[in-house]
Structure 1
Amino acid sequence: MTKNPIAAAAVSILTLGLALGVTPAMAAKMDATIGMQLEPPNLDPTGGAAAAIDEVLYANLFEGLTRFGPDGEILPALAKSWTISDDGLVYTFSLREGAKFHDGTDFNADDVKFSLDRARAEDSTNAQKALFADIASVDVVDPATVKVTLSKQNGSFLFNLAWGDAVIVAPESADGNAAKPVGTGPFMFAQWVKGDRVELDRNPDYWGEAVKLDHVTFKFISDPTAAFAAMMTGDLDAFPAFPAPENLTQFEADPRFSVIIGSSEGETILAMNNKKPPLDNITVRKAIAHAIDRKAIIDGALFGYGTPIGTHFAPHNPAYVDLTAQSAYDPEQSKALLAEAGVKDLTLSLKLPPPSYARRGGEIIAAQLREVGINVDITNVEWAQWLSDVFKAKNFDLTIVSHTEPMDIGIYARDDYYFQYGDPAFKAIMADLDKATDPDKRTELMQAAQKKIADDYVNAYLFQLPRTGVANAKLKGLWPNSPTQANDMTGVFWEK
């Protein structure tokens, strides 16, 4: 009987592979399933405030002119280079040639103009519209060159363009991005099974270096117990922001997994509605701040992971000032301040979004506030409800949330921001910061801004959210730190 030469060759290859310890399953592993606790409300980074949008899409599907690297540096993206005029007002960007959107349309300077004009328009729905406020005009020089003129100097402009809210979209597809996103990135949209997962496929026509994975699934698991089970059974390959820190020691003891501990940009705060009585009284806000034991919250909600903060700034930033002593835990001082403010029998609402740090931390904070005479009514809300009721409608007294946008202390200058501060003196500090280009002067102003909001007890500052990740030990290339709210899969691969 004559052997089939093709079959014989296949058997030989398989035998060689087994001899080398390479199984067919190992050789074929070109996909990854990534766990996330929150599902994005839509898939348009330019039209929503939820961090989960960027966690799925930033650098994977959508790209901006610039982007954040894994350690927070600003890197070229769709702009391959740029020049800045001597007066700091004109930025001329040289664009990637040959880049295409996933629907086959060409990327060019017209798309940049469309995206930036759309983001800064009067009717813009961009959650970070203030990033674009200093743009006076966007002009197309030629298909590969665009000129952006600012109305005033802004030392953070290239930084601002790296945010997920500043990604470049096309006029042909922008209106549909919320459900079927079309970008220029190395992955393209495959499907969104609402309530379960978003899937991305490798973009075969990507302008840059090809990614090593053919397929990525972002699986949404809100329950920490279920997240633990999914990792243990292999249903997930990684959970970059693992929601159950109490289980990390078990993963550390299991050679199948790697535990990745890093830092994030997530300033976690007990936010207060500064225009709602009696929280419009600084003495009451100060009393609340002194009623909070940060260590108890970090130990109880994060099992010891997390860094205490006393202002809205990341401790790993060189300009950080440690102001935790200014609002140290002192329940007796808290009671005295409430008496000074003439506040008795105070009841405040505390609306908690789904993350475990908020739900667990909220119970601890409520107990601490009750100890000083403040009654707390807790309401657990889903993420969409938090965005509509708290973030947009400002219908709250207290809430707990982690602000994961990079170096976002500028939000305190916005009159319409949900905690409603907008102090003129703080705005003046931020205006000076925008104009400053000298590094020492910028540090001085950033530190002044930190001190100002701490002095005004705008919010109660709790901790910097740690980046506690778990992954299959053979999955490499995940970011250990989180300089922006992203699960960047562009450098992820399976170790052979």
Structure 2
Amino acid sequence: MNRKILVLPAVAGLLVPALAACGGSGGGSDGGDAIVTGTTDRFIATKDAPAPVDPAYSYDVGSWNVLRQTVQTLMIQPRGEGEPVPEAAESCRFTDTGNERYVCKLREGLKFSDGGTVTAEDVKYSVDRARAIEADSGVFALLSTIDTVETSGDREVIFHLKTSDATFPYKLSTPVAGIVNPDDYAKDKLRDGFEISGSGPYTLKPEVKDGEMVSAAFTKNPHYKGSLKVNNEKVDLRSFKDADTMGGALEKGDIDVMTRSMSPEQIQKLSESADTDIELVEIQGLEIRYLGFDTDAATVRDKAVRQAMAQLIDRSALVSKVYGTQAEPLYSMVPAAITGHSNSFFNKYGDPDVTKAKNLLTDANVATPVKLTLNYTTDHYGAATQQEFELLRKQLNDSGLFDVTIKGTAWDAFVPAERKGSYEVYGMGWFPDFPDADNFIAPFLDEDNFLNSPYANNRIIDSLIPQSRREADRLAASDPLTEIQDIVAEDVPLLPLWQGKQYVAARDDITGTAYVVNSSSTLQLWELNRGVGG
């Protein structure tokens, strides 16, 4: 039997009730075989990135999904999405009208997976550690509004902020704010390798070959105490080299669940199949894809070049030919369905137009054709990425205004090269840390942005981002958010392309698949269990 389930996100601006799970670690199935889940995410420790799952370093969707199973945060995004709710905390709240003092009280009886007690000092240690290390991944910037952290007794943590930040509860739900055991994490040094010491719903036993974690065995943590109901005893997460290999493993029954990233062809095949014991789950997603620019590079330093690319790229054709109904064109870094979204790029450039693009270059005295290399990663965003960049190349070259080549690089080499400024133009994806417009803006445009981009707009950094964060009512933040998006459309340090849906495929005896991935691509393995296949 095939069932296609559509789950709509309760992101900011959509009034859908939050179905937060409650209770402790009880409620799981009674033993049995592990539920085996596949992913094409790769987990590699390299010389440039030796600590891929240290919360003070980790900043990609794959490694965050490992941490979310093992490291507890004070707050968590609830099962039905919506605003964050307490997790390791019993309660959290702003205690002033200016959203600058945030107090959390820990649950009683919290323990690390080794049985040691979790205290407020451990929370302070973990947060201060991530801020102090300032890893080159840029993840520490999520905590940039913190001024100081103090404790009161064993269970109360007080965050004093530098400025108002209505999004701060969301930031405390991200792995960078995860609570780690100080016995295993040095104060001023990252923890290399794949060992994790936390208080989350699972413990981790990694299988590592040649510096790569090829599988992760998650076993229910008997000491876990939090808001989550853990519905299984064990989940194995296995990393596959590509979507086809992962899909073959699901068909043979070697795995029970298939998560990101599935190919467009796989998704279409599963959605059209009427006689199968595999079901497909579709979740409205907040994943976006975009082009980034090294605005100091000679070829794209003149914004007219970047504007011409924005004027030429046909997003609708790109989505239609590569992703079909699995994605939709995007005209801002802030996706549709997020409060504060504005179609700024469409408002400025309208439909693709070669004449307008030519005039932009002519007026700026830019000689044509402009020679560029578009860089993309071959093994992180799915099998269709190469096809996407081939089409981008064709669109730009067919105009006669550009002479574009494309180059693919494996993710473990792509990321450090991008951060070192080796690419003039590069393709990236973004899976939000939390579903708020701030998280589609600040990580790219604020100080210490994670791309290490040379682009800096003082009005955005000094005025508009702080202004938007002062508004607890996110609708009231629309004016500064819209202005930021309009500036991006004018300067084009980033060029949004599309936003996509999320998909999970599972054998029909697996339950909980409707919630195992949310719109931000957060993996929630505790939702899975075994039922009866049909």
List per-residue Cα deviations over 1:291-320 (Å, max 9, x = no partner). Answer: 211122212332331121111112121322
Aligned partner of 2:402 in structure 1 is 374
2:83 paired with 1:64: no
Q: 1:481 to 1:36 in 2, by over 3 A?
A: closer
Aligned partner of 1:458 in structure 2 is 493
Q: Which runs of 5+ in 1 are unaligned?
A: 1-25
Aligned partner of 1:224 in structure 2 is 243
- 1:90 corresponds to which letter in structure 2? R
Shift of 1:396: 0.3
Q: 1:486 to 1:231 in 2, by over 3 A?
A: same
2:296 paired with 1:275: yes
2:456 paired with 1:422: yes
State TM-score, norm by structure 2: 0.82
CA distance in 2, matches of 1:329, 1:45: 42
CA distance in 1, matches of 2:387, 2:170: 34
Aligned partner of 1:347 in structure 2 is 371
Q: 1:127 to 1:102 in 2, by over 3 A?
A: farther
Report the count of equivalent residues: 469
How high is the sequence identity, in percent, across the aligned residues?
A: 20
Aligned partner of 2:87 in structure 1 is 77
Q: Structure 1 stretch 168-177 or stretch 130-139: which is displaced more? A: 168-177
State TM-score, norm by structure 1: 0.88
1:199 partner SS:
strand
Shift of 1:125: 5.3
CA distance in 2, matches of 1:174, 1:297: 45
Residues 261 and 480, structure 1, Cα contact 8 Å, conserved in 2:
no
2:441 paired with 1:409: yes
Q: 1:308 to 1:123 in 2, by over 3 A?
A: closer
- 1:74 corresponds to which letter in structure 2? P
Q: Structure 1 stretch 246-255 or stretch 231-240: which is displaced more? A: 246-255
- 2:370 corresponds to which letter in structure 1? L
CA distance in 2, matches of 1:43, 1:415: 21
Match runs of 1:96-495 below 5 Å: 96-121=107-132, 123-124=134-135, 127-175=138-186, 176=191, 178-194=193-209, 195=212, 196-208=214-226, 211-252=230-271, 253=273, 254-325=275-346, 326-327=348-349, 328-341=351-364, 342-353=366-377, 354=379, 355=381, 356-372=383-399, 373-390=401-418, 392-405=419-432, 406=434, 407-411=439-443, 412-414=445-447, 417-427=451-461, 428-478=463-513, 479=515, 482-495=518-531
Shift of 1:27: 8.6
CA distance in 2, matches of 1:483, 1:115: 27
Shift of 1:404: 0.7
Which is richer in helix?
1
CA distance in 2, matches of 1:375, 1:216: 48
1:454 partner SS:
helix
List per-residue Cα deviations over 1:323-366 (Å, max 9, x = no partner). Answer: 35234322332233233332224221222112234322111111
CA distance in 1, matches of 2:254, 2:137: 35
Q: 1:36 to 1:126 in 2, by over 3 A?
A: same
Q: Which runs of 5+ in 2 are unaligned?
A: 1-28, 45-51
CA distance in 2, matches of 1:441, 1:204: 44
Residues 290 and 329, structure 1, Cα contact 8 Å, conserved in 2:
yes
- 1:408 corresponds to which letter in structure 2? F
Q: 1:361 to 1:267 in 2, by over 3 A?
A: same
- 2:290 corresponds to which letter in structure 1? I
Q: 1:263 to 1:111 in 2, by over 3 A?
A: same
Q: 1:37 aligns with which of 35, 40, 47?
A: 40
Residues 46 and 127, structure 1, Cα contact 8 Å, conserved in 2:
no
- 2:367 corresponds to which letter in structure 1? V
Q: Structure 1 stretch 242-251 or stretch 133-142: which is displaced more? A: 242-251
Aligned partner of 1:21 in structure 2 is none
- 1:484 corresponds to which letter in structure 2? S
List per-residue Cα deviations over 1:42-87 (Å, max 9, x = no partner). Answer: 22232122221012231x1112111112424311111110232224
CA distance in 2, matches of 1:483, 1:145: 32
Shift of 1:123: 4.5
2:82 paired with 1:54: no
